[in-house]
Amino acid sequence: KDKSAASKDSAPQGAAKRQEDGAETPKQQLLDIIGSMKVEVSYRKKLQQLKASESKKQAMNKLEGPDSEGSVPLGIIEDTQRGKPLNPELVKAASAVASSLPHNKKQIESELLAQLRRHEETTDKQKKGGTINIRNVISEMTVKRQSPAQWGARISSLISLQLDEDGRRIRPERSSAQSMDSRRSLKVGKRLNIFTKASTEPERALKTVSSPTIWDLEFAKEVAAVTAQPPRNGFEEMIQWTKEGILWEFPIDNEAGMEDDAEFHEHIFLEKHLEGFPKEGPIRHFMELVICGLSKNPYLSVKQKVEHIEWFQKYFEEKKELLEEI
Amino acid sequence: MAAAALCWALRAARQVLPSSCLRQVRSYYVDWRMLRDVKRRKMAYEFADERLRINAIRKNSILPKELQEVADKEIAALPRDSCPVRIRNRCVLTSRPRGVKRRWRLSRIVFRHFADHAQMSGVQRAMW
């Protein structure tokens, strides 16, 4: 499929080139190129790749500015074809190409026509843009000649990944310095649009893990230990302390850590817990005093108070034989 | 003497398990006495509730005396280190048992040292 598509690429490209010279009819040129198509293998593939990337990019950036540049064949086709319906000559050329190839002809033909249609779309979009030439692309790229001093500096910086005193890497400074040093800075010049925007892949479904294994936990711990850089300043230190629980959270709320959801009546009216005790006698008297004291205690939670009373209940249960002797 | 007291070269062989934090962790207590004091504090914390309750039984006039005697025996049977009376407020840095100011948990010598080096917030030499 690559071959056929590439051949079709080279065909219109050849046609356009010849048209610029202003010599032959497109059909003749196409047929000539089909005959000579076996020669240009590697070049075709490059063009094919360029075209594929370009079509993707065009799909993404529809509002490209006037400086948009695409791959080679599309801009050249622009001269020959305008308008939405496919040029009948091109259709004929496509069918000729398909017939000349040994594989399934109908499939190749349909693919070629689909590509042609895509070309039409892209050329419509590119009407605003200027002509795209691989020459432009190459012209922007110059061979950088660096002084040996710069070479040395670059190599040394590449080798040693130094850390600042603050702990930050030197890299950001280096890159900005490089862009300033180089004669052709990175931000100036026509956009080549060779690279497409990275499309966000849909997140793959999470693997179902019943429980994190020990190795996973260990790995997670290792990662956390490595990524936890020492604090660069006092603020980060305080943040770390707050996370660990050493430093309180500000503004201070007096009930931090205290999750007492009980109402006041649960704290005060504790007689319902006294059901396990005898109704008369010194023990009851004693427990009523205990409850009176607990109801006035603001420091214990309801749970703790209930535990207190239950402890006494258990204690007196154990001493029951002793008590009955008395 | 001050220099000797301030010399942290006395280190007992007690090692607290190091955690994953990057701060300086005190891995040793100053001396064995401090370690024993730490153990006593922990035990006192564990048995605090029980001691309170048994003492509540012992120290009232309502319950029969036999019960109180039994409670006496029970509390005596608890481990010795669980009573809070055995805790000594030592200096946190030098483990000095005497001359310790409660607010700072430091002995007087250490306190003076830090105050003179302006490392105690809000502490100033008195002059009037």
Predicted complex ipTM exceeds 0.95: no
Report pLDDT digits (tens) over B16-55: 334 455 566 667 899 999 999 999 999 999 999 999 999 9
CB < 8 Å to A326, chain B: 64, 66
Q: Find where tokens 């019960």 sit.
A: B67
Task: List the structure tokens of A147.
Answer: 């002084």
* Vertex A105 angle, CA A104 and A106, to 5°: 100
Q: How confident is the model at residue B94 (pLDDT cuts 50, 70, 90)?
A: very high
Residues of B in contact with A325 (CB under 8 A): 66
A178 band by pLDDT with thresholds 50, 70 and 90:
low
Cα separation, A89 vs A31, whole angstroms = 11
* Contact residues, chain B, for A234 at CB < 8 Å: none
Flag if A283 and B21 touch (Cβ within 8 Å).
Answer: no
CA distance A177 to chain B (A): 34
Helices (H) then strands (E): counts for chain B? 4, 2
Spell out the domain ranges in chain A.
88-131, 264-325
Mean pLDDT of chain B: 84
Q: Is the pTM of the predicted complex or chain greater than 0.95?
A: no
Within its chain, how far is the Cα of A179 from the centroid?
26
| Residue, of A173 and A35, whose pLDDT is higher | A35
Give residue A20's pLDDT.
47
Q: Which of B53, B63, B64 sits opposite A311 (nearest CB)?
A: B53
Cβ-nearest to B63 among A240, A286, A325: A286
Whether the CB of B61 is below 8 Å from some CB of chain A: the reply is no
Which residues of chain A does B57 touch, with a Cβ-Cβ cutoff of 8 Å? 286, 315
The strand pair at B106-107 and B100-101 is best described as antiparallel
CA distance B65 to chain A (A): 10
By the 10 Å C-beta count (0-12 exposed, 13-18 middle, 19+ buried), A138 is classed as exposed
**B62 vs chain A: nearest CA distance in angstroms?**
6
Would you state the pLDDT for residue B28?
A: 86
Is there a contact between B67 and A312 if contact means CB atoms under 8 Å apart? no
Domains of chain B: 31-88 (1.10.287.1480), 91-127 (no CATH)
More confident residue, B46 or A141: B46
- Does the distance separating the beta carbons of B66 and A322 come in below 8 Å? yes
Q: Tens digits of per-residue pLDDT, A222-273?
A: 999 998 888 999 999 999 999 999 999 988 888 887 777 788 888 899 989 9
